[in-house]
Structure 1
Amino acid sequence: MGASSLLRELYSLDTLDTRFTTSSSVPLKSVDENSHKSVEREGKALPTDVSPPRWRTPEFYFYTLVFLFCVPQMYWAVVEVSQPDSPNYSKYEHLLSPGWLLGRKVDNSDGQYASFRDNVLYLAVLLVLHPLLRRLYEQLTGHGTPTVNGNGKAKYSSVEAYLRLQSRVSFDFYSALVYISALNGFSMLKILLILYVNFKIGTSLPRNRIPAATWVFNIVILFANELTQGYPYSTLVQTLAPFLPAASDWAKFLDSHAGLNPRWEVLFKITVLRMISFNFDHYWSLDRARVGSPIEKKQLDPAALSERDRVAMPAPEATYKSFRTYVAYVLYPPLYLAGPIVTFNDYISQSMHPAPSITTRRTILYGIRFLITLFCMEFLLHTIYVVAISKASPDWSTYTPFQLSMLAYFNLHIIWLKLMIPWRFFRLWALIDGMDPPENMVRCMSDNYSAFGFWRSWHRSFNRWTIRYLYIPLGGGVGGGTGRVRGILNMLAVFSFVALWHDINLRLLMWGWLVVLFVLPEVLATMAFPKSKWRNRPEAYRVLCGIGAVINILLMMAANLVGFAVGLDGLMGLVNGIIGSWQGAMFMLGACFALFVGVQVMFEHREEEKRHGIRLKC
């Protein structure tokens, strides 16, 4: 295999996640049999909705020149304002830390990413140690050993699958208890109490009360965790037993032994999603229990279920009644801190039958890709200080419109990387451990032009979770005018929950509402300019879509800057600095042209995927 072939394989969608190259309704055994083989269409006619390649046309040669000129200029504009001799350097210098690359300081001022970056070596030890301990446990117990068929492939019988489930659940349960005791110290007692109450809601209440009780309890927990800052024992004692000095001393002792992560409530939000998943998967299983096992009715192979079946088909009834299995799922160590999110049904299915999508080669390539991304982030943090600049609230008037726009643009890139890197690390840990969760980031931040597509590809497992457990139960969005209105109202409810789930503050709530507001132009434009009416004018339609996509990108950048970077006031300062002058307005026109060029390349990239049989809704 040549270097170019290896590079293509490394950056293929199949390496990132086989869910992107295999239909959710296709049994996963085909993924294993065709691992890393792209879909060839040579000698075959293209689908009628796919255009011939445009890469070697004069139009795209021109786009190549635009890329070669613009991209280096974009990066260098931010490097210039990150030099010691820049006007605002003294305002943010205190936010920089000693670095190790290129003799420069590093911008480690983002607290969320710093908590990962400062502990990545310790996490790497766990990534190696945890799967090794599982292998040792399985060897000592003798569980989980499959039968080998005539082709030399492992095949689990129903008894062996059950034993494998028991083995994995037992190890996950005890390793989770050790893990959260080290992370959260005596706060693990609060966590286990919350888990127990949710478990009883999902398994003991009458069936018709489970949904409402689940939502009320978990939303209350989100607010209570935030408002009480994790229920310190000393505060609880002062409230419940103010006249017991001995209890006060014990409370202080417990609070002083809160583990490596005393603020357990900050990262507990991802656990809330798994708690809701368990309750609703059990709730829906009660309906299907009346009609018998779907696997038996459809005569499916439980070892080769499709992605859709693994998520939708109920787990064995006994697993919903076991508190140990529930804790093992909710606190599964590789995914406990940040996800990605695996539904309870999927967790049980993969615990019984390993996903054929997990291969040694694919996992190694995924690990290499993660390391390259990690180094890319280090390079950026050592050469551009956009996070520190935005935190220092500098005098925006000292920057040119081009520099201001690039500060905003690269700020969003840092946000994208700081989320993607931990997600990929924890997914890599799960893959090594034999669990295949969904990939959270589908495309690069700069490879998005649709608001709908962007939210499908950003925190994808959370997007799938909101669709399964919130959007569809609310009624989703059906066809027709009334259905679209209902769909928009449901989206408003979904993004309000998403905003409050991230953090209980007005800025993120505004972000959620802005996202829905900025989706409206895309919805209205799709209704006003349906593709079916432009079949005879495909090039004009492509240009029209490009103009709409540029507007979409600007709106999405504004919404995310408000929610995750500079806030509404900071955004207004940036916008005023960019377009508040004649030069700024001219720059904005040039920037829109550059975005239009980028959008046309995005269009063609997706057409190329379709030519290879890949159709992503993002």
Structure 2
Amino acid sequence: MSLLYWARKLYSLDTLDTRFTHSANPPRAVSESQSQSQSQPQLNQIGRSATTGQDGRPTDSVSQSRWKTPEFFFYYLAFIIVVPLMFKTVIDVSQGQYSKCQLHFSSFDFSVLSALSVESHPTYSSYSHLLSPGWIPGRKVAYRPALIFQDNSDAQFSSFRDNIPSLLGLVVGHPLLHRVYDFFVSRDPKVAKPSASLLAKLRLEQRTQFDYYFALLFILALHGLSALKVLLILFLNYRIAKGLPRKYIPVVTWIFNIGILFANELYDGYPLSDIAKVIKPAEGSLGQVSSLVSCAQWLDGLGGLMPRWQILFKVTILRLISFNMDFYWSLEQLSSSPIEKKQLDPASLSERDRMRIPAEQTSFNPVYYVAYVLYSPLYLSGPILTFNDYISQQRHAPSSITRTRTILYAIRFCLTVLCMELVLHYIYALAISSAAPNWSLYTPGQLSMLGYFHLHIIWLKLLIPWRFFRLWALLDGLDPPENMVRCMSNNYSALAFWRGWHRSFNRWVVRYLYVPLGGGGTRSTERTLLSRARGMFNFLAVFTFVALWHDINLRLLMWGWLVSLFVLPEVVASLIFPARRWHSHPNTYRVLCGIGAVGNILMMMMANLVGFAVGLDGLKGLMEGIVGSYSGLAFLVLACAGLFIGVQVMFEIRESELRAGIKMKC
């Protein structure tokens, strides 16, 4: 097969996640010799069912391809010119250049005795101390051949990056150990012709028992004695589900887990030394430390590889809520089985059915609960898998996992890591923003590119760990959802953006919070405005929770409220300019949508810069630098024109997906 075929397959949506190409149907296993042309008729059939009504008339207009039109050839020319200039702008402010140096030669080495530096930007000295030694040859900030620099100043990503060798050992060792366990501890059906349900039950028991024991060892190695604190929280949450009357489970579950979220932050993981100081204060007039406090401090030192267990426990809280709520909803269907009622094949359920159809009551037991909540590949950062989905995939191996798809996904992950390494070696946006420089020393173009690439680096630093842990789960035989759907620059809708950014968390929020609150309200035409208002209130409540879940601070709370506020123009515009009224003027409607999308993109960038990058003060400095002069305003107009071109290309990408039978909501 041609190299072009494998390149297309490598970056296809089907390789990324079969949920995107088989959203309404169970994912089908694709044989390793199956070509793209062979699977295309199936996708087209799915597309026709999604875009046509029962009478065969289209319900969603799909336009003819515009890729070879003069309009898009102009866009290609703009991309060829603008995109390299964007990279050049931010690279130029991320380096110091040396114009004069004195070299000394000896018989053993070649060294620089002295150098008179002429830095390329006045702020370089303010952030140069944040740079770290790199490895890419030829990337020299100064004329020092032995030292190559990179921007590894982000603590969150650097901790992951520095531990990649150890994590790779886990990714290889854990699935191999699982297979060895399955080989030696395989369960005998004890019948001549076991039924499919019996084999599924044995598979569930075998896999969850391995997950249970490995998870206990894993958190013990990660958190040391603090693993007991984690297990205590798990026990209390389990007792809420199993010990309370059904009607109290949702309220108490949410109160307990949100309380744990705040308590973990306020009490910094409950150090034993702090508890000991309350029980037995300092002794004597000189405030000598008591023996109990000394012992507690020693025990605190046994914190394992990751003593601050509370930092990443927020992901575990989502699984705690998922278990309790799935158990709560399962009590409504004790008298009937949805699988039997709908005559479904339990071995080939769609993801929607795996999430909605409750697990058997016997599955809500302590072993399966601990195995799910502490499932090692997804324990640290997700993606988030619901309890029902976890049990379903443990009973029946997901057909979406194939050797070819997993290998391609691993290659794609490695290329993403390489991309991040190149960016960190050439673009120092993180270090510059961390140093809080004088923004007035940058031109409007430099300011905007620093903010733009800063957001891209944030996107990459989240994408890489999520794909790493998802790859680990795929190698272990479990298929969690992909967290990042599209590149950050391939988004124009605020609503669609949040469906695709941290997608598994978004789906979790919809299932366990947004829908129970009432969702978007009724769709009746008489109450459209009231329905939209209720939906916006629920949206605000959801993003308040999302902001607090990320971190309990004012900046992220402002981010959540800004996101909710910036969604409002899109909602209002959809009411004023409904698509059904523009069927006879598709190009005019496309231009109107493009203008609105440019505003959406600018607002989304501002919200994310406040929440995850420079904060409100930094955003104020950026905005003053851009709009504080005529040259800045002229640049803003040109930037909006560039965004408009990018939006038109985004529109056409989605139209191409519809023509291929892929209908995504982001």
Q: TM-score, normalised by structure 2?
A: 0.89
How far the C-alpha of 1:237 sits from its partner, in A, is 1.5
Residues 511-526 of structure 1: matches in 2 within 5 Å? 511-526=559-574
Identity of aligned residues (%): 60
Quote the residue 2:272 is aligned against. Answer: 233
Of the candidates 539, 549, 557, which is equivalent to residue 509 of structure 1? 557
Residue pair 2:44, 2:661 contacting (<8 A) in 1 also: no
Quote the residue 1:159 is aligned against. Answer: 198
Cα 1:35/1:193, change in 2 over 3 Å? farther
Instruction: Report the residue type matching 1:446 in the other structure.
Output: S
2:26 maps to 1:27: yes
Secondary structure of the equivalent of 2:559? helix
Cα 1:144/1:463, change in 2 over 3 Å? farther
Of the candidates 596, 606, 626, which is equivalent to residue 578 of structure 1? 626
Quote the residue 2:312 is aligned against. Answer: 267
Residue pair 1:183, 1:259 contacting (<8 A) in 2 also: yes
Cα distance in structure 2, aligned partners of 1:389 and 1:19: 39
Cα distance in structure 1, aligned partners of 2:344 and 2:511: 23
Quote the residue 1:152 is aligned against. Answer: none
2:92 maps to 1:91: no
Residue pair 2:30, 2:402 contacting (<8 A) in 1 also: no
2:81 maps to 1:69: yes
Residues 104-143 of structure 1: matches in 2 within 5 Å? 104-143=148-187
Cα distance in structure 1, aligned partners of 2:130 and 2:39: 46
Cα distance in structure 2, aligned partners of 1:253 and 1:609: 59
How far the C-alpha of 1:32 sits from its partner, in A, is 7.1
Secondary structure of the equivalent of 1:472? helix
How far the C-alpha of 1:248 sits from its partner, in A, is 2.0
How far the C-alpha of 1:482 sits from its partner, in A, is 1.3
Of the candidates 504, 529, 551, which is equivalent to residue 481 of structure 1? 529
Quote the residue 2:436 is aligned against. Answer: 393
Quote the residue 2:379 is aligned against. Answer: 336
Instruction: Report the residue type matching 2:10 in the other structure.
Output: L
Quote the residue 1:8 is aligned against. Answer: 8
- 1:187-242 CA-partner distances (Å, limit 9, x unpaired): 00100000100010011100000000000000000000001110001011122344
Cα distance in structure 1, aligned partners of 2:368 and 2:203: 13
Tell me, which stretches of 5 or more residues in structure 2 are unaligned?
Answer: 53-57, 97-118, 140-147, 284-289
Tell me, which stretches of 5 or more residues in structure 1 are unaligned?
Answer: 150-154
2:479 maps to 1:436: yes
How far the C-alpha of 1:70 sits from its partner, in A, is 0.4
Instruction: Report the residue type matching 2:386 in the other structure.
Output: T
Quote the residue 1:54 is aligned against. Answer: 66
Deviates more, 1:77-86 or 1:46-55: 46-55
Of the candidates 329, 343, 360, which is equivalent to residue 299 of structure 1? 343
Cα distance in structure 2, aligned partners of 1:300 and 1:374: 41
Cα distance in structure 1, aligned partners of 2:447 and 2:504: 33
Cα 1:508/1:125, change in 2 over 3 Å? same
Quote the residue 2:302 is aligned against. Answer: 257
How far the C-alpha of 1:38 sits from its partner, in A, is 4.4
Cα distance in structure 1, aligned partners of 2:561 and 2:279: 39
Instruction: Report the residue type matching 2:6 in the other structure.
Output: L
Residue pair 1:18, 1:31 contacting (<8 A) in 2 also: no
Cα distance in structure 1, aligned partners of 2:31 and 2:265: 44
Work out which of the two has the higher radius of gyration on C-alpha atoms and give 1 or 2: 2
- 1:554-600 CA-partner distances (Å, limit 9, x unpaired): 00000000000000010010011011100000000000000000000
Quote the residue 1:289 is aligned against. Answer: 334
Cα distance in structure 1, aligned partners of 2:402 and 2:225: 38
Secondary structure of the equivalent of 1:20? coil
Residue pair 1:17, 1:438 contacting (<8 A) in 2 also: yes
Residue pair 1:182, 1:260 contacting (<8 A) in 2 also: yes
Cα distance in structure 1, aligned partners of 2:276 and 2:195: 52
Quote the residue 1:599 is aligned against. Answer: 647
Of the candidates 344, 366, 370, which is equivalent to residue 327 of structure 1? 370
Residue pair 1:146, 1:157 contacting (<8 A) in 2 also: no
Secondary structure of the equivalent of 2:662? coil
Instruction: Report the residue type matching 2:214 in the other structure.
Output: S
Secondary structure of the equivalent of 2:64? coil
Cα distance in structure 1, aligned partners of 2:91 and 2:491: 24
Secondary structure of the equivalent of 2:72? helix
How far the C-alpha of 1:246 sits from its partner, in A, is 3.9
Cα distance in structure 1, aligned partners of 2:174 and 2:281: 43
Secondary structure of the equivalent of 2:332? helix
Secondary structure of the equivalent of 2:510? helix
How far the C-alpha of 1:252 sits from its partner, in A, is 1.1
Cα distance in structure 1, aligned partners of 2:378 and 2:176: 17
- 1:14-43 CA-partner distances (Å, limit 9, x unpaired): 00000000023x133476798965434899
Residues 161-560 of structure 1: matches in 2 within 5 Å? 161-242=200-281, 245-290=290-335, 292-320=336-364, 322-478=365-521, 479=523, 480-560=528-608
Residue pair 2:544, 2:561 contacting (<8 A) in 1 also: yes
Instruction: Report the residue type matching 1:442 in the other structure.
Output: V
Cα 1:345/1:573, change in 2 over 3 Å? same
Of the candidates 93, 99, 110, which is equivalent to residue 81 of structure 1? 93
Cα distance in structure 1, aligned partners of 2:444 and 2:569: 26
Secondary structure of the equivalent of 1:54? coil
How far the C-alpha of 1:389 sits from its partner, in A, is 0.1
Cα 1:520/1:2, change in 2 over 3 Å? same
Cα 1:395/1:246, change in 2 over 3 Å? same
Higher helix share: 1
Cα distance in structure 2, aligned partners of 1:146 and 1:406: 66
Residue pair 1:449, 1:553 contacting (<8 A) in 2 also: yes
How far the C-alpha of 1:397 sits from its partner, in A, is 1.2
Cα distance in structure 1, aligned partners of 2:183 and 2:652: 51
Cα distance in structure 2, aligned partners of 1:557 and 1:448: 11
Q: TM-score, normalised by structure 1?
A: 0.96
